[in-house]
């Protein structure tokens, strides 16, 4: 690939996918880091500068991003991702903007994690997301699965809210394959969001493929961080990733995003950042096209790294 100035590349270069009936560009934005400077949701997270967060959100839309992933439990002591999104983009929101949110986990106002929501409590979480975002319905709501057991009661509660018009489409997050089968017997599933990245969870490839066969989007989190998970990008990059990045005049993060998108047209990336320069670099990764040889090299590294870690 011939390197392009990041300022000239928009999210359109990544292609599009339709979530139910909502077309989105395949490079989106994860909102978890907007309220804070750290990479983990902890009670003592350092709040991010509000102006910087607002700038990132508006710049993302300027760069063609029309898929933002958030949750009402994305907050720091002073900032809420949903409130930032509403302030930056609401009144009115861009007509093509798709906002996805998640319910299930719960955090107290002091930032500590509490027990997961019961099926009866999910409506309150949906309504809280509606209030914070300033919307009369939610485009896409994921049930974030917190335990290995059945999901039918929780997903059924969300399906009822979908029937009432509070939710347009439903998704699943942090699931096992059987959860997808169970949920699809209740209501359509348009998207699955699971931890997956180069060097992380190679067995997840079976679920990635199955989602593609079913026409369901697969949205990996930790696509950039890989096995580092919540630690975010760390020193000691996989040598094959670093070498590919040097050859393409790209960053390792861009190579990781390009590899994720290459796993199928239904792969949607939602890299999170609160930094305008990182945002532009992430969006530019949508224009990066890996050759078959580069993909084979990275695929081998993916399987080998994950096998050693496991």
Q: Where are the domains of the chain?
A: 13-309
- Summary count for the chain: helices (H), strands (E): 10, 9
Task: Give the pLDDT score at 304.
Answer: 84
Of 306 and 151, the one with more pLDDT: 151
Active-site pick, 74, 93, 196, 222:
74
Active site annotation includes 93: no
At 117-149, the pLDDT tens digits run: 999 999 999 999 999 999 999 999 999 999 889
Task: Give the pLDDT score at 201.
Answer: 87
Q: What value does the mean pLDDT of the chain take? A: 93
CATH 3.40.50.720 fits 13-309, yes or no: no
The SS3 of residue 190 is coil
Positive or negative torsion for Cα 220, 195, 56, 32: positive
Per the DSSP assignment, residues forming a β-bridge with 195 are: 221
pLDDT at position 310 over 80: no
Per the DSSP assignment, residues forming a β-bridge with 24 are: 17
- Residue 236 banded pLDDT, cuts 50, 70, 90: low
pTM given for the model: 0.94
Burial class (CB in 10 A: 0-12, 13-18, 19+), 126: buried
Task: Give the pLDDT score at 307.
Answer: 58
Backbone angles phi, psi at 300, to 5 degrees: -65, -40
At 74-95, the pLDDT tens digits run: 999 999 999 999 999 999 999 9
The SS3 of residue 191 is strand
């Amino acid at each position: 690939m011939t390197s392009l100035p990041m300022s000239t590349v928009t999210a359109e270069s990544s292609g599009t996918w339709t979530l139910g009936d909502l077309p989105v560009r395949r490079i989106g934005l994860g909102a978890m880091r907007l309220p804070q400077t750290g990479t983990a949701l902890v009670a003592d997270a350092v709040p991010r500068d509000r102006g910087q967060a607002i700038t990132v959100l508006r710049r993302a839309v300027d760069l063609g991003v029309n898929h933002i992933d958030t949750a009402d439990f994305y907050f720091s002591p002073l900032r809420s991702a949903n409130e930032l999104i509403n302030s930056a983009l609401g009144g009115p929101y861009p007509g093509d903007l798709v906002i996805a949110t998640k319910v299930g986990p719960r955090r107290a106002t002091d930032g500590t994690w509490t027990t997961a929501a019961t099926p009866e409590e999910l409506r309150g979480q949906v309504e809280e997301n509606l209030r914070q975002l300033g919307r009369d319905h939610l485009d896409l709501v994921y049930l974030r699965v917190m335990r290995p057991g059945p999901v039918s009661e929780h997903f059924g509660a969300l399906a009822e809210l979908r029937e009432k018009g509070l939710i347009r489409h439903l998704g699943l997050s942090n699931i096992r394959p059987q959860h997808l089968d169970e949920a699809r017997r209740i209501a359509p599933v348009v998207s699955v969001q699971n931890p997956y990245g180069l060097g992380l969870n190679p067995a997840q490839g079976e679920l990635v493929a199955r989602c593609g066969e079913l026409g369901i989007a697969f949205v990996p989190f930790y696509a950039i961080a890989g096995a580092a998970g919540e630690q975010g990008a760390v020193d000691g990059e996989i040598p094959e990733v670093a070498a590919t990045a040097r050859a393409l005049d790209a960053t390792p993060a861009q190579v990781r995003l390009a590899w994720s998108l290459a796993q199928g047209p239904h792969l949607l990336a939602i890299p999170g950042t609160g930094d305008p320069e990182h945002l532009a670099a992430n969006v530019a990764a949508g224009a990066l096209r890996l050759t078959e040889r580069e993909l084979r090299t990275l695929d081998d590294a993916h399987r080998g790294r994950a096998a050693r870690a496991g």
